[in-house]
């Protein structure tokens, strides 16, 4: 991030996490600034990479979908897998993590057979030593955005 964020910027981000389609005029009223000032702030936050885009977050997973985490142990740097993982539509996020394992991948697939194919693809990637699969049973807290 190039510029510093202030309390108004944080308020704008909180409001947008709650409703990414909130009009600039409404945002301006909520934070007590002119619409043009809010637009300038939003433009800066996008330019600086704080806001990377706007997306649709569905309220529920498709009926019958299989949600799973793939926990990956690598023999080398996991950053080399970024491009391949981005190209897989079933991979909704992939995070480099600390601890005994190196990579946490969240997937949603149409079936367990499709999950097995995704897992097999990941297992064949260079540097992958081990893949552990954990199926999601329940989603209790699921907040879009984050801090």
Q: Is residue 110 part of a domain?
A: yes
Q: Is residue 58 part of a domain?
A: no
Q: What is the mean pLDDT of the chain?
A: 88
Q: Is residue 37 part of a domain?
A: yes
**Residues 27 and 88 both lie in one domain:** no
Q: Is residue 94 part of a domain?
A: yes
**Residues 128 and 101 both lie in one domain:** yes
**Residues 83 and 121 both lie in one domain:** yes
Share of the chain above pLDDT 70, in %: 88
Euclidean distance between CA atoms 135 and 139, whole angstroms? 11
Could you give the number of structural domains in the chain? 2
Q: Is residue 36 part of a domain?
A: yes
Check: pTM over 0.85? Answer yes or no: no
More confident residue, 14 or 124: 124
**Residues 72 and 131 both lie in one domain:** yes
For residue 122, the number of C-alpha atoms closer than 13 Å in the C-beta half-sphere is: 31
Q: Is residue 41 part of a domain?
A: yes
What CATH number is associated with residue 28? 1.10.10.10
Residue span of the structural domain in which 27 resides:
7-47
**Residues 96 and 124 both lie in one domain:** yes
Q: Are 70 and 24 in contact (CB under 8 A)?
A: no
**Residues 72 and 42 both lie in one domain:** no
**Residues 87 and 130 both lie in one domain:** yes
Q: Is residue 56 part of a domain?
A: no
The pLDDT tens digits for 50-105 are: 888 777 666 556 667 899 999 999 998 888 899 999 999 899 999 999 999 999 99
Euclidean distance between CA atoms 147 and 144, whole angstroms? 10
Q: Is residue 125 part of a domain?
A: yes
**Residues 83 and 111 both lie in one domain:** yes
Interaxial angle between packed helices 35-47 and 7-18, expressed in degrees from 0 to 180 and rounded to the nearest 10: 90
């Amino acid at each position: 991030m190039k510029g510093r964020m202030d309390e108004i910027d944080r308020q704008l981000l909180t409001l947008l996490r709650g409703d990414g389609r909130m009009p600039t005029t409404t945002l301006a009223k909520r934070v007590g600034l002119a619409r043009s000032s809010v637009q300038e702030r939003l433009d800066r936050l996008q330019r600086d990479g704080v806001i990377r885009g706007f997306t649709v977050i569905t309220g529920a997973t498709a009926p019958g979908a299989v949600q799973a985490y793939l926990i990956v142990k690598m023999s080398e740097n996991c950053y080399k897998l970024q491009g391949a993982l981005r190209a897989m539509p079933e991979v909704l996020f992939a995070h480099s993590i600390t601890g005994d394992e190196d990579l946490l991948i969240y997937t949603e697939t149409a079936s367990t057979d499709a999950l097995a194919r995704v897992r097999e693809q990941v297992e064949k990637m260079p540097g992958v030593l081990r893949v552990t699969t954990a199926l999601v049973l329940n989603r209790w807290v699921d907040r879009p955005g984050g801090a």
